[in-house]
Amino acid sequence: METGPEAFYLPLDDHTYEPTAATESPWDSRAQHGGPPSALLGHVIDQAVGPGLRLGRISVDFLAPIPRLPARVELTTLRPGRQVHLTQADMVIDGRTAVTARAWHIATGPTPPVRSEPVAPPPLPAPTGEDLFAGREDWGYGQAIEWRFVEGGFTDLGRARVWTRVRIPLVAGEKLTGAARALIVADSANGLSAVLPMDEWLSIPPTMTTTLLRHPEGDWTHMDCGTELSDDGLGLTRAALSDAGGRLGEVAQPLLVRRR
């Protein structure tokens, strides 16, 4: 994205952010994809929480389509604590809360006497020259991320395993953190692993939960995504997150499934 946006968001003041074209929804150029707002709320919460606490889980609720307009982020501490700490962040756009997130931070401590065996992800494939989401060169979010598939593809249905690399900062002038890298792509899990043609069927996640085992490291995040459908119009997408060092955590998205 050498000629694209410099970041997903431009800070207007300490609490207000202007979304760039890199946040663009695939269905409406006036709206935002769910990934960047999730990452922004998580990032703002992270900055506000004291040292010695690490993000363990974040649940993000999408209350309506998210306009691509300046957004104010408002924080509320719901459960202060030195061992566990719960914070809520609201993205307010044009006087309305469009997205709300609740994040649990957990205190870090000494290494336990029993350690889990690392689960290695598949190797990073070589570039193919076809790394734009759905092949669309005009879609800002798709261009802001590099995608390298191990299994599946943008036009394939079913399970997908893909390495992702976020190309630009989340907020202009600020370093992109590992947690932000993971959250920017986490809400793409259902689209990557859709089991019904997306031009015929809606598959809408009203909420997304990401749980992190440890702090993500490196530029690349691997997602192993799968979607299951019920017989009454709901679905569930789950994705295992990894980096080069092994398992990071998981994503879960309940789905509204309807024919267009």
112-154 pLDDT, tens digit each: 999 888 888 999 999 876 555 545 567 889 899 999 999 999 8
Rounded Cα distance, 1 and 147, in Å: 13
DSSP element (H, E) containing 178: helix 178-186
Task: Give the C-alpha separation, 59 to 74, whole Å.
Answer: 16
Whether the CB-CB separation of 72 and 97 falls below 8 Å is answered with: no
- Say what the pTM is: 0.94
The confidence score (pLDDT) of residue 129 equals 64
Q: Which of 22, 37, 44 is nearest to 97 (CA)?
A: 37
The structure tokens listed for 114 are 């029993």
Question: Which one of 3.40.50.80, 1.10.150.120, 3.40.50.300, 2.40.160.210 gives the CATH number of domain 9-108+130-259?
Answer: 2.40.160.210
pLDDT at 239: 98
Q: Where residue 1 falls among pLDDT bands split at 50, 70, 90? A: very low
pLDDT higher than threshold 80 for residue 95: yes
**Mean pLDDT taken over the chain:** 93
In this predicted structure, the answer to whether residue 251 has a pLDDT above a threshold of 90 is yes
Residue 22 phi, psi (nearest 5): -70, -15
pLDDT in tens, 45-84: 999 998 899 999 999 999 999 999 999 999 999 999 999 9
Mean pLDDT within 184-191 = 96
Give the span between the Cα atoms of 194 and 110, in whole angstroms.
41
Is the pLDDT reported for residue 105 higher than 90? Answer: yes
